[in-house]
Amino acid sequence: MRIALLGPPGVGKGTVAGYMSKEFSVPHLSTGEMLRSEVAKQSPLGKEAGGYMDSGALVPDELVVRILDSRMGGQDCKEGFVLDGFPRTAAQAEVLSETMKRGRVELDGAVLLQAGETIVVGRLSGRRQCRECSAIYHLRNQPSKKEGVCDRCGGDLYQRTDDAEGTVRERLAAYRKESGPVIAYYEERGLLRKVSAEGDLDVTLAGMREVLSHLG
Ligand code: AP5
């Protein structure tokens, strides 16, 4: 299975990608996580990307493509993957298509997770994430068993710096500006599917499974 998850910040792409990755035994490729790891390492790429991320802007295509390209070439991606947060611009969608053509494979679908802005802002303000394994929690919707501690690995839970209110506003503005052409790109090619992510996680996951059962 080769799919890309699209949708606004906080809609649940990372959460849903985690479940789908386990269920279909394919890697979860999150460009946001890859970039945060480069920032934490203070690599040259991380230093360059960090400023964009902290302000809520998109990182330039060239940097994101470089980081994703090396990851997608990995042996574990041969049988498929769940892309989370990529592509985010029409240029990235084009690069993805070219990369897949070179590997003689095709994207099965681009799934747009949909929820209103009030919902996604509420999700981002309550999100907590594990510093060690990146597992995602929510203070109210998906709390860890012990406050501040990851159920999966015992790591510390933290709040992402880009979940501050002002940065969330900028991230939503970037999404409004850039997402239209990406959605149109996949719609024109008959690859776009839509799943409501407004309800509880179980309902979103059921919608995902239904859509995926009709792909490829
Ligand atoms: P990235 O990390 O990709 O952030 P994002 O797209 O803004 O999305 P989020 O990770 O914030 O949210 P999500 O949709 O994954 O939601 P989640 O599952 O966590 O990117 C960060 C930055 O990196 C960007 O701003 C940009 O600078 C840069 N970047 C990354 N990719 C790039 C690219 N391709 N090009 C350029 N720049 C790029 O869920 C949110 C919360 O809601 C959680 O607490 C979760 O527990 C809860 N939740 C989820 N689903 C449900 C549900 N159905 N019901 C109730 N609660 C739910």
Told to judge if 160 belongs to the known catalytic residues of this protein, a careful annotator would answer yes
pLDDT at 70: 85
Answer whether the bond into residue 87 is a cis peptide, omega within 30°: yes
pLDDT at 164: 92
| Helices and strands in the chain, H and E counts | 8, 8
Q: Give the atom of ligand 1 at the shortest distance from the alpha carbon of 85.
A: 3
Whole-model pTM: value is 0.96
Q: Is 88 a pocket residue for ligand 1 (Cβ < 6 Å)?
A: yes
pLDDT at 161: 93
Mean pLDDT, each 10-residue run in order, the chain (216 residues): 97 97 96 95 96 96 93 91 96 94 92 97 95 95 96 97 94 95 97 97 98 90
Which element (helix H / strand E) includes 98?
helix 90-102
Q: Is 197 a pocket residue for ligand 1 (Cβ < 6 Å)?
A: yes
